[in-house]
Amino acid sequence: MTAGGSTPGGPNLAGGADCPRDPDRVLAELAGWQRQVRAQFPILVAADQVYLDSAATSQKPQAVLDAVVGYLTGSNANAGRGAYRWASQTTAMVRRCRGRVADLLDDPDPQRSGVHFVSGTTEALRRVALDWLVDTLADGDEIVVPVADHMANVTPWREACGALAKRGVTVRLIDMPYQPSGDYDVAALAGLLDERTRLVALTHVHHVYGVDLNVHRIRRIVGDDVVICLDAAQSVGHLPVSVRDLDVDFVAFSGHKAMALPGIGVLWARNARGPRYVHRGWDGSPNTAGVVSLEAAIDWLDATGLERIAAWTVALGARLTDGLRRLPGIEILGCQTSLALDSTVQRRQGLVTFRHAAMSATDLGFVLAEHGLMVRADAHCQGAAGEHDASVRASLHAYTTVAEIDRFLAVPGRAQPGGGPDCAPQAPGGVTGRDRRWSVVTASRVGRWPVVSSGRSPAPGSTAGWWCRRPAARCRCIPRSTGRHLRVPRRCGS
Ligand SMILES: Cc1ncc(COP(=O)(O)O)c(C=O)c1O
C-alpha cells in the first residue's frame, strides 16, 4: 500500500502478493496483531457493548492516556511562556509535535509548510476559507465545493463567498459532481473547470459513503495551479496519508478521530500555491494536553502501523458490507461493493451507512442500542446535496474485532416490524394524530424480546404501526426520560 492510502489506477486489495484480495485471509493474517491492538484500549477491554461509531470519534489507547496523565502530573505548564523547566519542556513538546505531524503527513518540505494547531477539522477548514481564501479571490473567480460532503467542508466556503459578496466581490461556488456510487464524478468535474477556478475543496474518505475518494485523480484534472484543500477527518489515523503523493495544499484533521483527545486538530498548509497562509490573531494559550495526546497518538499509530490498520479496517469493512448486503431489506448508501474492484471508486474504508426497508433509522438505532451496539443513526451532518433522511452508520477502527462485526450483523437481519406472538398488528382504533396515549409505533422483535420503539404517530387506520398486546408482561419498556424519540404506552407502567 502506498503512503497515499490509495494507489492511482487501482485498489491495493486487488490481489497483490503483499495484500491479498480475500478479506477473510487478511483478517486471519492480522488476527494476532489485532488482539494486541485491542488489548491496548482500556475502555473496550471490559466493555460488554460494541463500539461501532469510530467515524464520530475514536477510542484512545493506553499510551495516549498515559502520556496525558504523565504530562499533567509531571510537567504541566503553559507553552511559549516562562523560562523554568516545565514551561520550556512544554514549549519544546509543542514544537516537536509539529514535526511529528509533518512526518505523519509525509510532508516533503517542512521548512516551507506550516502545522497549525486548531480545535479540529471544522475550525481548520473555516480558517482556510475565512482567513485565507477571502483575501485571495478576485471578482469572477470560482471555487469547487463538494456539497454532499460533511457540512464542515461546505459551510465555510459558502460563508467565504458571502463575506466576499459583502465586499462587492462575486465568486461562483460550483457543486462538485457525484456519482450514485458516492464517488466524485471526475469526468464531469473536468467540464466545470476553467481558468478562473482557484480552489477545489475535497474530502479524502467520505463520512457517509465510506469510500476513499482517490484524491490523486483530482490533481491531474485540475492542473498544477489550482489550490486543493483536503478534509482528512476520516483518513488521518485510519490509513497512511501522504501530502507528497496527494499533492494538496491544505489538510485538515481532528485529533479525536485519530486516537488523540478531543479539542485538538491540525491545519497543515503547504504554502506553495497562492499567498502564504498566516494563522491570524492572538490564539491564546495552546491546548497543551491536547498536543501531548496528539504526539502520543502519532507515536502509537507509527508503532502500530498505519498500513496494517488500513488493511484491517478495509478487510473488516468488507466483511461488514458483504454481511449487510446479504440481509433482506437493507439498502447500503453509495458504493455497494466492499472492495470496489468493479466500481470507479477506489475502495471502501471501515464504515458503512445503510437503511432498513421496514424500520426507520431512528428505530433501528434504538434496537441496535438495546443490543449493546453503538452506531450513529441520523443524517450525519451531510451537506446540502446529501442524504436528507436519516440512516444508520457503523464505523470501525483497528480495535474492532471480527466477533463484534458478526454480533452486529446478527441484529438488523432479525429486526422486523411486527415482531412475534407478543406483539400483534392492531389498528390504532380511536387513537389518531398527536394523541400519544398509546404511541408505540414500531414494535420489533429482535431475538427473544419484542422491542418497542417509537418516533412517529401512526396515521389513522394505518397498519404500519404495531401495537403491543402485552406490554406490561413481555415488552421492554423504556422510560420516557431515556430518549426524546421514545414514548411508552401507559400500561407498561414506566
Ligand atoms: C469528513 C468529516 N469532516 C469534518 C468533520 C468535522 O470534524 P470535527 O467535528 O472534529 O471538527 C467530520 C466529523 O465527523 C467528518 O466526518
- CATH code of the domain containing 86: 3.40.640.10
Q: Are residues 426 and 396 in the same domain?
A: no
Q: Examine residue 95 and state whether it is found in any structural domain, yes or no.
A: yes
Count of domains observed in the chain: 3
pLDDT the model gives residue 181: 80
pLDDT the model gives residue 491: 32
Q: Give the pLDDT means over successive 10-residue stretches in the chain (494 positions).
A: 36 37 89 98 94 98 98 96 94 97 98 96 97 97 94 96 97 91 88 96 94 89 96 97 97 98 98 93 84 98 97 93 91 74 63 90 88 91 75 97 96 62 33 30 39 40 35 34 32 29
pLDDT the model gives residue 269: 98
Burial letters for 384-422: b for 16+ Cβ neighbours within 10 Å, e otherwise? ebbbeebbbbbbbbbbbbbebbeebbebbbebbbbbeeb
Q: How far apart are CA 367 and CA 361, in angstroms?
A: 10
Q: Are residues 470 and 485 in the same domain?
A: yes
Q: Which domain holds residue 396?
A: 12-58+304-409
Q: Examine residue 313 and state whether it is found in any structural domain, yes or no.
A: yes
Q: Examine residue 6 and state whether it is found in any structural domain, yes or no.
A: no
Domain end marker among 303, 334, 349: 303
**Contact in structure between 19 and 1 (CB atoms under 8 Å):** yes
Q: Are residues 228 and 284 in the same domain?
A: yes
pTM, two decimal places: 0.84
pLDDT the model gives residue 414: 74
Q: Examine residue 1 and state whether it is found in any structural domain, yes or no.
A: no
List the residue whose alpha carbon is closest to atom 13 of ligand 1: 56
Say if ligand 1 is within 6 A of residue 233 CB. Answer: yes
Which ligand 1 atom sits nearest the alpha carbon of residue 56?
14
Q: Which of 380, 487, 363 is nearest to 418 (CA)?
A: 363
Which ligand 1 atom sits nearest the alpha carbon of residue 205?
1
Q: Examine residue 40 and state whether it is found in any structural domain, yes or no.
A: yes
**Contact in structure between 380 and 417 (CB atoms under 8 Å):** no
Q: Are residues 321 and 404 in the same domain?
A: yes
Q: Are residues 16 and 123 in the same domain?
A: no
Q: Are residues 252 and 373 in the same domain?
A: no
Distance 279 CA to ligand 1 centre (A): 21
Q: Examine residue 4 and state whether it is found in any structural domain, yes or no.
A: no
pLDDT the model gives residue 470: 33
Q: Are residues 370 and 491 in the same domain?
A: no
Tell me the sheet residues that pair with 443: 452
Domain end marker among 274, 303, 332: 303
Q: Are residues 334 and 421 in the same domain?
A: no
Which of 53, 121, 153, 353 best tests ligand 1's pocket when mutated (most atoms within 8 Å of CB)?
A: 121
- CATH code of the domain containing 23: 3.90.1150.10
